[in-house]
Amino acid sequence: MWQATEDVLESIAIGAGILGTGGGGNPYIGQLRARQAIKKWGPVTVLTPEELPDDARVVCVGGIGAPTVGIEKVRDLQSYHALRAIEDYTGERATALISNEIGGSNSVEPLIPAARAGLPVVDADGMGRAFPEFQMKTFFVYGVPCCPMAVADEKGNSAIVRETINPAWAERLARALTIQMGCVACYAVAPMTSEQVRRTAVPNTLSLARDLGDAVKQARDDGDDPLAAILSVCPGKVLFTGKVVDVDRRTTAGFARGTLTIDGLESCSGSRMVIEFQNENLIARRDGEIVCTVPDLICAVATDLGEPVTTELMRYGLRVTILGFPAPELWISPEGLAVAGPQAFGYETDYVRLSV
């Protein structure tokens, strides 16, 4: 158990920006929103899944939409309104909240309604990274119902998706609502039990994000290599280092889609990496050869500072290092790969786990 105070938000934002694989919403904007909520309503208690009471009712909340729009149209208390909408519909009150993904601003999204409602947040999430689509959660892969869910915008509109034939249909309907709401919304899913959280969530991810951010900040203060600091906290490997020479990015169907091209520098001189993304980085090719795919993490950071660079902020001339991290174990089962493996995104390649 620990307290999410204003002082730890910067570290969480840095770490979640790294783990977010380019998506999850802008981490700096998320940090500012969470800081405002905690300043107004007080710090939030963070519990491990094991610390949840057996009779807990845990609601997953998160943002949905295109990150490119999210930096122009900043969310307010939409997640709180979505929480209240799902509580009113189900007749159950949440006793704790949990993040849908430990990526970008979505990592801190539960802190905002938690501060407002006086609830704790679980140190876990449903991805262990960020993914672009609602159904891509370990909760749903392992049997937690995806509906009913509430979707809310900043205007005061809310809608309930009562029932769908599968989680992919919940994504389609929620995405259609989000597009009509201006490509930025928040959602809340019907409460889970403590047993469901312990069995299906990726644990200790909020504290991992905090520890990653602490390591990056400490390395900067000490004049050490922030990339080495990141890898010391979260085992992974450097996939590429270079300069961004092209970003083909477009907002379509409620997503930021495109490709990123990087020309190699230093030990990667003479090589080129191309990364395809749909909000998040999905597949990385070095000189045409695949070196990393979903569900493994493909993370871009500024080479000198270790600062995460999300897909909506990527631009020509940035010096970036691409880091790779193995996916959480829950994703590499046949059930997990069917939902979030490369073939789920239309790539005709088998998943090969990243070796570190």
Q: CATH number for the 2-203 domain, one of 3.40.50.1370, 3.90.1200.10, 3.40.1610.10, 3.20.20.70?
A: 3.40.1610.10
Q: What angle do CA 264, 26, 155 make, to 5 degrees?
A: 150
- By the 8 A CB rule, do 150 and 89 touch? yes
User: Which CATH code for domain 225-345?
Assistant: 2.40.390.10
CA distance linking residue 101 with residue 183, whole number of Å: 18
> Where in the chain are the domains?
2-203, 225-345
- pTM of whole model > 0.75? yes
* Cβ contacts of 227 within 8 Å, gap of 6 or more: 238, 301, 303, 306, 321, 323
Q: How far apart are the first and last CA of the chain?
A: 31
Amino acid 230 reads I
Question: Residue 253: what pLDDT?
Answer: 63
With a cut of 90, say whether residue 143 has pLDDT above it.
yes
Residue 206 DSSP label: H
Amino acid 132 reads P
With a cut of 70, say whether residue 68 has pLDDT above it.
no
Mean of per-residue pLDDT scores for the chain: 93
Amino acid 331 reads W
Question: Residue 251: what pLDDT?
Answer: 72
Question: Residue 66: what pLDDT?
Answer: 72
Let me know if the fold of 2-203 is the same as that of 225-345: no
Q: Provide, for the chain, the percentages of residues in helix, strand and coil under a 3-state DSSP scheme, each rounded to the nearest 5.
A: 35, 30, 35
Peptide bond into 27 cis (omega under 30): no
pLDDT-based confidence at residue 67 (cuts at 50, 70, 90): low
With a cut of 80, say whether residue 209 has pLDDT above it.
yes
What is the SS3 assignment for 11?
A: helix
254-313 pLDDT tens trace: 666 789 999 999 999 999 999 999 888 999 999 999 999 999 999 999 999 999 998 888
Question: Which position has the higher pLDDT, 30 or 7?
Answer: 7
With a cut of 90, say whether residue 105 has pLDDT above it.
no
Task: Quickly tell me which residue has 């970008």 as its tokens.
Answer: 104
